[in-house]
Amino acid sequence: MARSLSLPVVERSTGILLWEGKSLLNGKPIVVIATGRSENEKTGGMIQVWILVRNQQPLEAHREGADEAICGSCKHRHFRSCYVNLARGPLQVWQTYEAGKYPKLKGHAASEYFRDKVVRLGAYGDPAAVPVEVWDTVTRVCRGWTGYTHQWKRCDKRLRNYCMASADTLEEAYDAMDRGWKPFYVRAEHDPLPKGFFSCPASKEEGARLTCEQCRACHGGEYRGQGVPSIILHSSNWKKIYFHRGMKRMRNKEKYVGMAWAG
């Protein structure tokens, strides 16, 4: 009976409120929202899961540094080089949430939203901000997923079952492997593909021969010598400039956007 009452709500909705609570990164309030099939050509028609600061719209949260609750120590947050356009998906999802248009589903009803679908954990925001039990609920019933975290040095190790370790240098990729994580290595345009790594099939350099929905190699799991996916840094030119500038200052232990970097 519960199933018949819950499913029509999910089918009518453009998304659901999956979880609300305190960020595991800094204890501030955040929300987790899942929305329907994406039109993103690279990822394909996956369900998108958004992790957002609860009380501030994304642009404001970013300007004031409140996005630490959902992004943690991600370099792109500090470098202003995040590939996500905050004025599009994140802002639209947050505004819909503020308007109270996402039904909050729990248990079986929430699971049914993801059943037999392919899910992108963290279309915006880091999955490490959210209790692993939330991802257990999603991955238990879905057909597949992708996920990435920049918090792999300090987060709940169980997240390794669901997320790749985002690596912005080759040294980070090897460090992640040593810690048992499968890395996803983003390399600069001039950097060669290292031995034991393979180009992301959804990347421009691979001719986008598969979407993320079709490939699903980036689903986490313990590293045991598997091939490592890699992609050439892809973003707008000004964001690439910001990223390279930030990486240079980080290597030199210099401050960037008021932040002092440490190893």
Identify which has the larger pLDDT, 255 or 168. 168
For 36-49, write each residue's pLDDT tens digit.
866 677 777 899 99
Q: What is the DSSP string of 106-164?
A: -HHHHHHHHTT-EEEEEEES-GGGS-HHHHHHHHTTSSEEEEEES-TTTS-GGGGGT-E
What confidence category does residue 257 fall into, taking pLDDT thresholds of 50, 70 and 90? low
Residue 249 pLDDT: 87
The string of pLDDT tens digits covering residues 103-131 is 998 888 888 999 999 999 999 999 999 99
Q: Which pLDDT value is given to residue 187?
A: 93
197, containing H or E segment: strand 197-199
pLDDT at position 12, please? 37
Which of 28-32, 85-89, 102-106 reaches the highest mean pLDDT? Answer: 28-32
Residue reference for tokens 């045991």: 224
Quote the pLDDT of residue 106. Answer: 81
Which tokens is 59 given?
A: 């642009």
Specify if 259 maps to a domain.
Answer: no
Range of the domain at 33: 2-254
Answer yes or no: is 183 within a domain: yes
Judge if pTM exceeds 0.85: yes
Check whether 167 has a pLDDT greater than 90: yes
- With cut-offs at 50, 70 and 90, classify the pLDDT of residue 21: very high
């059943």: which residue's tokens? Answer: 115
Residues 6+ positions from 214 with CB-CB distance below 8 Å: 44, 201
Whether residue 263 is contained in a domain is answered as no
pLDDT of residue 148: 97
pLDDT beyond 90 at 78: no
CA distance 191 to 117: 35
Please tell me the total count of domains within the chain: 1
**Mean predicted confidence (pLDDT) in 192-205:** 94
- The three-state secondary structure class of 26 is coil
The answer to the question of residue 101 being in a domain is: yes
Contacts of residue 202, defined as CB under 8 A and 6 or more positions apart, other chains included, come to: 42, 43, 208, 209, 210, 211, 212, 215
Checking if the pLDDT of 50 tops 90, the result is yes
3-state secondary structure of 245: helix
The pLDDT of residue 261 is 45
Give residues with Cβ within 8 angstroms of 211, minimum separation 6.
41, 42, 43, 44, 202
The answer to whether residues 205 and 232 touch, using CB atoms and an 8 Å cutoff, is: yes
Render pLDDT for 202-221 as a digit per residue (tens, 0 to 9).
999 999 999 999 999 999 99
* pLDDT class of 9 with cuts at 50, 70, 90: very low
The span from the CA of 192 to the CA of 141, in Å, is 38
Beta bridge partners of 149: 165
For residues 10 and 113, the answer to whether their CB atoms sit within 8 Å is yes
Residues sharing a CB contact under 8 Å with residue 240, sequence separation 6 or more, in sequence order: 81, 233
